[in-house]
Amino acid sequence: MILAINSEHVDAIHQMCNIAFGDNYVAPDYLNQYILSSHKKGFVLIENHLLIGFILVSFHNPTEIQKEILHDKEWYTNEYYHYNTIGIIQQVVVLPEFQRKGKAEQLIKHSISFFKNTIDLFLCYAWVVKDKIPIRSALINNGFTSKKIINSYWKEDSLNKKYYCKLCGPPPCNCSAEVYLLKIKAD
């Protein structure tokens, strides 16, 4: 069962983020925005009363997206300036014991379907983990295509916000992101 995130889910999601990404990359205040803001939406996947996965999607107009993208804003603007409502898949996590069963794919499919009449373009800055992209298949199977790799995508952000990366340890984070994109509205 997929439900919209509510305040009862925040603790479980926070713990899952600390384990999946590193301490404080995602703070409870950040998660609360996905309950309160009209421009952010989160879904949880519940099976047998257990929260086994979640997805967070934010949406932006062409001005706001400039603040959201951490690197290579020029590339984005040059290619996709004509899209009015842009959805960013911010975080997807599935509990380790439920991975490799298509759960992330299911959460992404649900989000695309939920927003198909409001969002023109979906973006995901996917985490590159030791040369692999854990979310890659779930994106590709939902029609996303890979556009480019951006090295040290979170470097300045990790220094500013002082979060630990699970792979790099204390800031700076030197992980790369691969940019995936799905056009909902035709060019």
Ligand X SMILES: CC(C)(COP(=O)(O)OP(=O)(O)OC[C@H]1O[C@@H](n2cnc3c(N)ncnc32)[C@H](O)[C@@H]1OP(=O)(O)O)[C@@H](O)C(=O)NCCC(=O)NCCS
User: Nearest distance from residue 145's CB to ligand X, in Å?
Assistant: 15
CB-nearer residue toward ligand X: 62 or 168: 168
Residue 135 CB, nearest approach to ligand X (Å): 4
Q: Do 81 and 135 meet the contact criterion of CB atoms below 8 Å apart?
A: no
Query: Among residues 10 and 135, whose Cβ is nearest to ligand X?
Result: 135
Choice between 121 and 142, CB closer to ligand X: 142
Cβ proximity to ligand X, 56 vs 119, nearer residue: 56
CB of 187 to ligand X, least distance (A): 26
What sign results for the dihedral spanned by CA atoms 59, 62, 66, 72?
A: positive
CA gap 121, 92 in Å, rounded: 18
List the structure tokens of 157. 């952000």
Tell me which residues touch ligand X (CB under 6 A).
20, 92-94, 99-105, 126-127, 134-138
Smaller CB distance to ligand X: residue 14 or 136?
136
Smallest distance from ligand X to CB 123, Å: 12
CA dist list (Å): 23 to 6, 32, 137, 169: 22, 17, 26, 9
* Residue 119 CB, nearest approach to ligand X (Å): 18
Buried b (16+ CB within 10 A) or exposed e, 105-130: bbbbbebbebbeeebbbbbbbbbbee
Strands (E) in 66-127, as ranges, are: 86-94, 121-127
For ligand X, the closer of residues 80 and 127 by Cβ is 127
Q: What is the DSSP letter of 159?
A: H
How does 66-84 read in b/e, with b if 16+ C-beta sit within 10 Å? eebbbbeeeebeeebeebe
Minimal distance, residue 82 CB to ligand X, in Å: 26
